[in-house]
Amino acid sequence: MQPNLTRARAALASLLLLSPIAVVASSAAATPAAAPAVTASAAAKAPAYDVTIRITEHGIPHIRSNTLPGMAYGAGWITTAEATCNLMDTLLTARGERSLYEGPDATYKDNVGGSATNLEWDTLVTDLHDRRVVERLLADPVAGPSGRAKAMVVAETAGINAWLAEHEITDPACADDEWIKPDVTTTDVWYAFYLAQLISSTTRLLPQVTGATPPTAATRPAPTPTRAQLREALEQDDRFGSNATAVGGDDTSTRRGMILGNPHFPWLGRYRFTQMHLTVPGKLNVAGGALTGFPAINIGFNKDVAWSHTVSTGYRFTPYQYTTAGSPTSYRTAGGGTAELERRDVDVQVRTDAGVETVTRTLWRTPQGYVLNAPSLFMGWTKDSFWAFRDANAEHLRTFDTFLSMNMASSVRNLLRRQDRGGGMPWVNTIAADRAGDVLYADHAVTPNVTDALAGRCMTTAGRLIFSVAGLPGLDGTRASTGCAWGTDQDAQRPGILGPSHLPEVVRRDWVMNANDSYWTPNDEVRLTGYPRIIGCEDCERTMRTKVVMAYVRDRLEVGRETPRTLASHEHANRVYAAEVARAGGRLDQVCTATGLTAACQVLHDWDGRSDATSSAGAAIFQEFVWLADQRDVGLWEVPFSAAHLLTTPRTLSTAQPVVDAMAAAITRVTDRDPDLSGTYGELHRSGDRGSAGWPLGGGLGDLSGDANAVSSTLGDPVLDPVTRGSSYIQAIAFRGRTGIDARTILTYSQYEDPASPWSDDQTEMFSKEQWVRFPWTAAQIRDQLVEVVHLAP
Annotated catalytic residue within 65, 242, 712, 713: 242
Q: Nearest CA to 424 among 489, 487, 493, 514?
A: 493
775 by Cβ neighbours in 10 Å (0-12 / 13-18 / 19+) ranks as buried
CA distances from 390 to 141, 325, 333, 372, 530 (A): 21, 21, 16, 11, 24
Q: Could you write out the DSSP letters of every residue in 197-259?
A: HTTTTTGGGHHHHHT-----TTPPPPPPPPHHHHHHHHSPPTTSEEEEEEE-GGGBTTSS-EE
Q: Cα(65)–Cα(59) distance, rounded to whole angstroms?
A: 19
Element (H, E) at 514: strand 511-514
SS3 label, residue 62? strand
Distance CA 748, CA 686 (A): 12
Question: How many CA atoms lie within 13 Å of 611's alpha carbon, on the beta-carbon side?
Answer: 34
Tell me, what DSSP letter sits at residue 683?
A: H
| Whole-number Å distance between alpha carbons of 699 and 685 | 9
Cα dist. 452→62, 449, 474 in Å?
A: 47, 10, 12
Directed axis angle between helix 657-673 and helix 598-606, to 10°?
90
- In single-letter form, the type of residue at position 2 comes to Q
| Number of CB atoms found within 10 A of residue 611's CB | 33
Residue 376 annotated in active site? no
| Strands 317-323, 475-476: pairing kind | parallel
Calpha distance 381→390 (Å, rounded):
17
Active site residues: 242
